[in-house]
Structure 1
Amino acid sequence: MDKAARSIQLVKSSKGSIMPVKKRKIPDDHEHKCKITSFTRPQICGVKTFSSDKQFSSKRCLAWFHKYAGPDKVVGPEAMEKFCEDIAVEPENIIMLVLAWHLEAANMGYFTKDEWLRGMTLLQCDCTERLQSKLDYLHSELNDTVVFKNIYRYAFDFARDKNQRSLDMDTAKSMLALLLGRTWPLFPVFHQFLEQSKYKGLNKDQWYNVLEFSRTINTDLSNYDEDGAWPVLLDEFVEWQKTRSASL
């Protein structure tokens, strides 16, 4: 696959967060073959039901899927844009990542029929209006530290090219902006560090540890243990930031 075929469309919101959508051909096997580890499985608890006399209908849910699915029988990037428009959510909104997590979607920019039916059934959504009624709930899940950690970890496998073990740096920076940009005070500095670093991507261990670092290390880095079990990437970030701060 050439570089153009693997290019990433980065859609930026007015607040600066980014939801990358990979414009690439979905693998020939549309079904869920990517390994999504067990801790990312959605746990639907206390979801409010849509205030309607109608019960959830699998048939209606399937018809809703086919409204967007093309000849490949999958909701692809162009159909995803229409889907986002219909539910009144911008493609770069983090809600779309939360929804993808619930569907256990394997490929960014695509929902297969099995993923759609499984996830929407758990959410009890079989039409646009029902899903819209759940958007506040989906957003509230980001405030649960355990759920957020699962979504964060899921994002690594979701966003990476499946023939690569690491997340390429452009995508990593975009996903970090989406997930941590509004909540981690040091994110702008860390983003700047990644911009000038030699790293071409982040592996899974680095990705996981960035979240732990953002949750446990003080903004002034005063409680960072250089002898701790942090990846070299974060050791280098701390050294870079301390040198930078000393020169200001």
Structure 2
Amino acid sequence: MRRASKKSLSSAATASAGAEQVNEKQNRKRKGVSTNLTSRKAQRGPTKAVSKEVERIDQFFYTYADNSSVMIDPEGIETLCSHLEVPHTDVRILMLAWKMGCEKQGYFTLDEWRAGLKALRADSISKLKKAFPELVQEVTRPSNFQDFYIYAFRYCLTEDKKKCIEIPVACELLNLVLGLQFRPQVDKLSNYLKYQNDYKVINMDQWMGFMRFCNEVMF
């Protein structure tokens, strides 16, 4: 039997090594493709979950929205309150409007609804009811309450260029926003505002003064 030459053995070894390198590269590619596919699947999962959540929130919105305006109008809000088993004058509805960042009193847009309910993780009446205690806690934190207090005043400015609210509205709003925390002070302020004759409207500076009064004057 003839012996294989050193040259042929060397060539065979080189070819074998080359084949191994090619196989290794192909394996790496396969692993890379597999990893990418796994990564894409992992990315798709949360995205699908988020889109489903938004879809449920949208469906919840259209339960109360007016078909022509595509907004939840005052009538829709009253129906919502009925289902939540709270009066439409409940401070938690104002807190909900604050959470949604609503711009127009008595109206919820789809974008506002999405933003607020997504933050509250609420896509149904039952979940929204359960979210109320957490919402109240959030609003009443000192870091948030002043913002809510300012928002309450601005929310009551029913016209674009309006800068003041009428005395009766101010009294109702004081009772709603500060009544639970500062009942004696709010009663005194409301009585004064109702019976004085110097002012017919309240501006933002005066509104902020009421909060300072409640914080500083103890009964």
Scaled by the length of structure 2, the TM-score of the pair is: 0.71
Residue-by-residue CA offset, 1:185-226 (whole Å, 9 max, x unaligned): 22212111101222111111111121112112233xxxxxxx
Which residue pairs with 1:79 in the alignment?
76
RMSD: 1.9
SS of the counterpart of 1:188? helix
Q: Deviations along 1:99-139, whole A, 9 cap, x unmatched?
A: 11000111221111111111111222111121111111122
Query: Which has more strand, going by share of residues?
Result: 1
Aligned 8 A contact 1:94 1:179 in 2 = yes
* Match among 60, 63, 68 for residue 64 of structure 2: 68
**Runs (4+) of structure 1 moved beyond 6 Å?**
53-56
Deviation at 1:54, TM superposition (A): 10
Match of 1:183 in 2: 181
Write the distance in 1 (CA, Å) between the matches of 2:188 and 2:199.
Answer: 16
Q: Which residue of 1 aligns with 2:166?
A: 168
* Corresponding residue number in structure 1 for 2:192: 193
Task: Name stretches of at least 5 consecutive residues in structure 2 with no aligned partner.
Answer: 1-48
CA contact (8 A) 1:69 1:79 kept: yes
State the TM-score, normalizing by the size of structure 1.
0.63
Q: Percent identity?
A: 27
Q: Is 2:149 the partner of 1:152?
A: yes
Contact preservation (8 Å) 1:56, 1:125: no
CA displacement 1:144-180 (0-9 Å, x = unmatched): 2222221111101101122311112121111001012
Contact 1:56/1:124, CA 8 A, preserved across alignment: no
Instruction: Say yes or no: does 1:218 pair with 2:215.
Output: no
Q: How many residues align?
A: 167
Superposed displacement of residue 76, structure 1 = 0.6
User: Partners in 2 of 1:159 and 1:200 — Cα distance?
Assistant: 16
Q: What is the SS of the residue equivalent to 2:77?
A: helix
RCO higher in 1 or 2 (8 Å CA, sep ≥ 6)? 1
* Pairing 1:132–2:129 present: yes
TM alignment of 1:34-73, pairs within 5 A: 57-70=53-66, 71-73=68-70
